[in-house]
Amino acid sequence: MELLYTNVNWLVIGIGAALSFALGGFWYWSKLFGPGWNKGSNISPTNGHPLPALIVQAMGTFLLAWLIGIAATAAVWWVAALIILAVANTLAGGCMFS
């Protein structure tokens, strides 16, 4: 269990998660690909995106960055467990947008 947090560079994980989340926000921005995504997903966010969905997406992004950070030092079982958590969290957040 210690392998999940002992040899991990938390600063890099935090920066990577923040940059990835920011890139996603920029990607789905209303002036870039957001209108096409909204039309294709049959979503019309009139007052912006729901805060709980953004929080869950940020958590999923952090879990994925953490997974990448420990992939070289953790046992395969723990990596698989984190993959499942990251994917489940991201899917749960994606469902909150509709």
- Residue 41, phi-psi category: left (phi > 0), alpha (psi -120 to 50), beta (remainder): alpha
> How many angstroms separate the CA atoms of 92 and 88, rounded?
6
SS3 48: strand
pLDDT of residue 74: 59
Domain enclosing residue 36, as ranges: 2-95
> How many angstroms separate the CA atoms of 70 and 41, rounded?
34
Residue-wise pLDDT for 35-91, tens only, equals: 787 777 776 766 666 778 788 889 988 988 888 777 756 556 677 677 778 888 888
- What is the domain count for the chain? 1
- Can you give the pTM of this predicted structure? 0.66
